[in-house]
Amino acid sequence: MKKIWSTLTGIIVAAGLFLGLNAGSNNVQAATDDTFKVGMECGYAPFNWTQQTNAHGAVRIQGTKLWANGYDVQTAKIIADKLGKKLVVVKTKWDGLLPSLTSGKIDAIVAGMSPTPDRRKSIDFTNAYYVSKLTMVVNRNSKYANANSIQDFKGAKITAQLSTYHYDAIKQIKGVLRQPAMDDFPAMRVALESKTIDGYVSEIPEGITAEAANPDLKMVHFKKGQGFKTSASDTNLAIGVRKGYKYTNKINTILAGMSDKQRNQRMDDAVANQPSTAAKGNWFINILKDYGPMLASGTGMTLLISLVGTIVGFVIGLLVGILRTIPAPKNKGKKGLLGLLNWLLSVYIEVFRGTPMIVQAAVFYYGAAQAFGINMDRTVAALIIVSINTGAYISEIIRGGIISVDSGQFEAANALGMTHWQTMTKVILPQAVRNSLPAVTNEFIVNIKDTSVLSIISVSELFFTSETIAGQNFQFFHTYLVVCLIYLVLTFTVSRLFRLIEKHLDGPKNYNVMNNQMQVE
């Protein structure tokens, strides 16, 4: 048991040092008076994208070594300059933009968002900074490539981005097979390239980008009056701000000073300055060469969260396992307190085992800011969620390990006058931990894979990093194949390491009590 605790302590210390060295890598604090924090996906070219240098006036993405650029970034730079503030770009997933704004983690959303009536219920919008027009992106060699009207897509499998008016617009097509909405444009391009959909609804600038990035894709040009029917609240892209934001009127004044010629020029520059997606040579070597540091950083974050989460969860599981096996005392007061404690622990276990981790992460990270004004570090929030979630599962694993120990050993320890704590730590837990180790190993492996759901709060773990890379190089299959290989190496390595630990705890197979006793004599 001492070996187990000393090993755990060493790992926790090492993880703590690693966390300290990487502190702030995902930190998002409340906006201050001298900064203008804007949230965007950094993956919706030409409006916004991620690049690895500061070329063409790019802005550093908060907490990373990457840069953001695009029409949205350049517009936000002008606004920040006019407000006398420093622009800070916070890379956030689309479905995390609204909660980030309402919880005070960012000042504004500059991400090609339209001011729909539903969104106006929770946030305010400035005047329009760009007017968009809907189009459709399809495979160049498909039967829909020469479509002139949206009604030509009858029977086609069409999708659009989640929580956008693009998705609602699909209903205008008679007989269309509307597919489930997707998270972002990179995901839709993957689906289109793999031909699981026939097309997706987009805006003309994004359609131009799609054509430039992949010659197999085509943006459809509808005849006049044959395209989607939209309202100004849909096509006018505006900046989202909190209700009662004090700079809303000033931002509107700044936007009013931008001529159509200036706006069109910024869009032309954005289209021209997008990172090149042309691939030369071996794709595997190119991905490792160009994005190796990003992949290494994402892998490190995945390992950190899964390792610390499993270790802390294991400690929680041990404590809960011990508490839930305490014999009922004869004193009624103590017995009642123990019953209440067991009930609370049961609620904890059922709640965290009965709800998805992705929901827990969103509620904890955004809910803590909205309800209590706590703007915590994203990495810290991820560690807490994974640890508590893992503790709920491991507590049941440990309980099963404790139950698997023969009841006669409890009776023998009791006969020797041992307390419950002594019985557990000296006799039962060493056996229970060994019996539970395969299940704990499996939980560790699950955590490595399940860190991908933390992208909901924009933690830069391996999957979130892969989405960023795929959004830059548009080599979706190749990028995800490399990431799949990294996950496989991680899980295989962890599995083998824990096998060695199991063998070490088992001791030698040829251990003979009599021979060892004779050697001692």
Note whether 42 and 56 are same-domain residues.
Answer: yes
On whether both 73 and 114 belong to a single domain, the answer is yes
Per-residue buried b or exposed e for 307-326, using 16+ beta carbons within 10 Å of the residue's own CB: bbbbbbbbbbbbebbbebbe
Count up the domains in the chain and report the number: 3
- Please, which pLDDT band fits residue 432 given cuts at 50, 70 and 90? confident
List, as own/partner pairs, every contact residues 48-57 make where C-beta atoms lie below 8 angstroms and the sequence separation is at least 24, other chains included: 48/72, 48/73, 48/110, 48/111, 48/112, 49/274, 49/275, 49/471, 49/472, 50/91, 50/468, 50/471, 50/472, 51/275, 51/472, 52/290, 55/273, 56/269, 56/273
Does 322 share its domain with 431? yes
Q: Work out whether strand 177-178 and strand 108-113 pair parallel, antiparallel, or are unpaired.
A: unpaired
d(CA 125, CA 111): 12
Return the pLDDT at 148.
Answer: 94
How many percent of the chain have pLDDT more than 70? Answer: 90
Which CATH number fits the domain that encloses residue 360? 1.10.3720.10
448 and 321 both lie in a single domain: yes
**Whats the size of the chain, residue-wise?**
521
Residues 442, 322 share a domain: yes
Whether residue 466 lies inside any domain: the answer is: no
- Residue 401's pLDDT band, with cuts at 50, 70 and 90, is confident
Task: Give the relative orientation of helices 185-193 and 476-506 as an angle to the nearest 10 degrees.
Answer: 100
213 and 188 Cβ atoms separated by less than 8 Å: no
15 or 206, which is more confident: 206
User: Does residue 212 register a pLDDT over 90?
Assistant: no
Task: Give the pLDDT score at 35.
Answer: 94
Neighbouring-strand partners of residue 199: 138, 158
For the packed helices 357-372 and 378-404, what is the interaxial angle rounded to 10 degrees?
130
Residue 488 in any domain: the answer is no
Q: Is residue 178 part of a domain?
A: yes
- DSSP letters, 224-269, are TTSS----HHHHEEEEEE-TT-TTHHHHHHHHHTS-HHHHHHHHHH
Q: Which residue has the higher pLDDT, 326 or 134?
A: 134
| pLDDT top residue among 304 and 289 | 304
Does any domain span residue 172? Answer: yes
* Highest-confidence segment of 20-29, 336-345, 360-369, 382-391: 382-391
Statement: residue 23 has pLDDT above 50: no
Specify the range with the lowest mean pLDDT, choosing from 13-17, 55-59, 325-329, 506-510: 13-17
* Residue-wise pLDDT tens digits, 35-94: 999 999 998 889 999 888 899 999 999 988 889 999 999 999 999 999 999 999 999 989
d(CA 80, CA 61): 15
Average pLDDT in the chain: 87
Alpha carbon 519 to its chain's center: 58
The whole domain housing 344 covers: 310-459
* pLDDT for the residue 513: 52
Residue 188 lies in a domain: yes
Looking at residue 78, its amino acid is I
In this prediction, residues 2-6 reach a mean pLDDT of 53
**Which residue, of 229, 258, 290, is where some domain finishes?**
229
Q: Is the pLDDT of residue 27 over 70?
A: no
Residue 385 has pLDDT above 70, yes or no: yes
d(CA 278, CA 461): 26
What pLDDT, on a 0 to 100 scale, did the predictor assign at position 421?
78
Tell me the pLDDT band of 380, cut-offs 50, 70 and 90. very high
Q: pLDDT tier at 26 (50, 70, 90 boundaries)?
A: very low
- The pLDDT confidence band at residue 515, using thresholds 50, 70 and 90, is low
Is residue 489 one of the residues assigned to a domain?
A: no
SS (H, E, C) 380-395: HHHHHHHHHHHHHHHH
Q: Rounded mean pLDDT of 245-258?
A: 96
- The conformational region for residue 507 under phi > 0 = left, psi -120 to 50 = alpha, else beta, is left
The Cα-based distances of 105 to 109, 110, 184 in angstroms read: 11, 14, 22
Which of 412, 442, 459 is a domain's end point? 459
> How confident is the model at residue 477, as a pLDDT?
84
223 within a domain of the structure (yes/no)? yes
Residues 334 and 416 both lie in one domain: yes
Domain boundary among 459, 485, 500: 459
Q: List phi, psi (to 5°) of 347.
A: -60, -45
Average pLDDT over residues 284-289: 87
In CATH, what number is assigned to the domain containing residue 165?
3.40.190.10
Q: List, in sequence order, every residue forming a beta bridge with 13; answer none if it has no partner.
A: none
**Do 70 and 219 share a domain, yes or no?**
no
Q: What token pair was written down for 512?
A: 């003979």
d(CA 259, CA 18): 50
Do 204 and 323 lie in a common domain?
no
Mean predicted confidence (pLDDT) in 13-19: 48
Alpha helices in 279-406 (DSSP H): 283-324, 332-354, 357-372, 378-404
Per-residue pLDDT at 360 exceeds 90: yes
Residues 84, 177 within the same domain: no
pLDDT tier at 277 (50, 70, 90 boundaries)? low
Q: 17 falls in which pLDDT band (50, 70, 90)?
A: very low
Q: Are 426 and 440 in contact (CB under 8 A)?
A: no
Distance between CA atoms of residues 469 and 279, nearest Å? 14
Q: Does 325 lie in the same domain as 415?
A: yes
Any domain includes 465: no
- The answer to whether 42 and 48 are in contact (CB under 8 A) is yes
Q: Specify whether the CB–CB gap between 204 and 133 falls below 8 A.
A: yes
Cα–Cα distance, 181 to 514 (Å, whole number):
70
Sequence-separated (6 or more) residues with CB below 8 Å from residue 356: 453
The pTM assigned to this predicted structure is 0.77
Domain identity same for 324 and 389: yes
Q: How far apart are CA 171 and CA 166, in angstroms?
A: 10
Q: Tell me, what's the pLDDT at 280? A: 64
338 and 375 inside one domain: yes
Please give the Cα distance from 137 to 147 (Å, whole number).
11
pLDDT at 484 over 90: yes
Mean pLDDT confidence for 166-191: 92
Inter-CA distances, 451 with 25, 305, 462, 463, 465, Å: 16, 7, 8, 8, 12
Q: Rounded to an integer, what distance in angstroms lies between the CA atom of residue 308 and that of residue 388?
A: 11
What is the C-alpha to C-alpha distance for residues 74 and 63, in angstroms, rounded to an integer? Answer: 20
- What's the pLDDT score for residue 351? 94
Quote the pLDDT of residue 435: 83
